[in-house]
Amino acid sequence: MKLTFTKMQGIGNDFIVIDGYSSPVNLDAATICRLADRHFGVGFDQLLLVEKPTVEGVDFRYRIFNADGGEVEQCGNGARCFVRFVHDKALTNQREIRVETARGVIFPKLEDNGLVTVNMGEPRFQPAEVPFVADQDELVYPLQVANQTLEISTVSMGNPHAVTLVSDVDTAPVENLGPLIEHHVRFPQRVNAGFMQVVDAHHIRLRVYERGSGETLACGTGACAAVVSGIRRGLLQSPVKVTTRGGELTIAWDGAQQPVWMTGPAETVFEGSIEI
């Protein structure tokens, strides 16, 4: 079977986007893993599948699969590419769309300046919502990792995030602590591990070791989670510029019970097809 796809990227977080809206596409985890391989396949951080919605009042369903083939709840950089894809493919003529995800509806919007703004919904902090094994919601938790005690904040943006402060992201131990945090026993669904350097109250630098994909050049939900945890801890004030290895995002959040707003680019790299 010939699979056509669009290769896209949002500040270096790269995707293949597949139209499962015009006609259904079913891919098993082993096939997704093979497609994700950067030597034997196409190569991507996540595969994004566009489908017809399963609920009333939304335009599309958005399914996200990590490079390890696992389906996950949310992808921020992918959401910006999603709206550009459905617009470029004439699946909609709306510049703002309502998108069903595994954890609620998000609202990506193509701005006149070429950037994309997404209402990413409300962050969740209760341990059971992350999910994270803890007695109650705390701003910071001690986490035993290797032979040290980290201080982490936990947030769900639909998907789980653990954020730890570092003095310099360039020297942060992302490669060795990232997988230990991702697979930590207190995260029953695993977790995305963010390493945040506070530059000032309106600017952070961020690296994320992503669940199911390893370190990526940028993580949209990770940027949302880092900013939200920094605001809660009194370290940041909205809006916040997030500098990642792949580029910059602007994240805004006005506090509890409010949605997180993410603004950034979304680019098409090439169109492709592959026999699967």
Ligand X SMILES: N[C@H](CCC[C@H](N)C(=O)O)C(=O)O
72 binds ligand X (CB under 6 A): yes
184 binds ligand X (CB under 6 A): no
Minimum gap (Å) between residue 271 Cβ and ligand X? 21
220 binds ligand X (CB under 6 A): yes
**Angstrom distance (rounded) from CA 10 to CA 77:** 5
33 is known as an active-site residue: no
Closer residue to ligand X, CB minimum distance, 218 or 236: 218
| Piece in contact with ligand X (CB under 6 A), picked from 47-55, 70-78, 87-95, 249-257 | 70-78
Segments in the chain forming alpha helices (H): 29-36, 76-88, 174-182, 220-232
210 binds ligand X (CB under 6 A): yes
| Piece in contact with ligand X (CB under 6 A), picked from 143-151, 171-179, 219-227, 230-238 | 219-227
- Diameter over CA atoms, the chain: 54
219 is known as an active-site residue: yes
Length of the chain: 276
75 binds ligand X (CB under 6 A): yes
| Piece in contact with ligand X (CB under 6 A), picked from 1-9, 218-226, 237-245, 265-273 | 218-226
- In the chain, which ranges are E strands? 2-10, 13-19, 46-51, 60-66, 71-72, 99-101, 104-110, 116-119, 141-145, 148-156, 160-165, 192-200, 203-210, 214-216, 240-244, 247-253, 260-264, 267-275
Q: Which residues within the stretch 82-141 sit at the binding site for ligand X (CB under 6 A)?
A: none
Minimum gap (Å) between residue 23 Cβ and ligand X? 25
**Angstrom distance (rounded) from CA 151 to CA 181:** 11
9 binds ligand X (CB under 6 A): no
**Angstrom distance (rounded) from CA 47 to CA 16:** 5
**Binds ligand X (CB under 6 A): choice among 6, 9, 66, 238:** 66
219 binds ligand X (CB under 6 A): yes
**Angstrom distance (rounded) from CA 159 to CA 72:** 7
Segments in 117-241 forming alpha helices (H): 174-182, 220-232
Q: Catalytic residue numbers?
A: 75, 219
Binding footprint of ligand X on the chain (CB under 6 A): 13, 45-46, 64, 66, 72, 75-78, 159, 192, 210-213, 216, 219-221
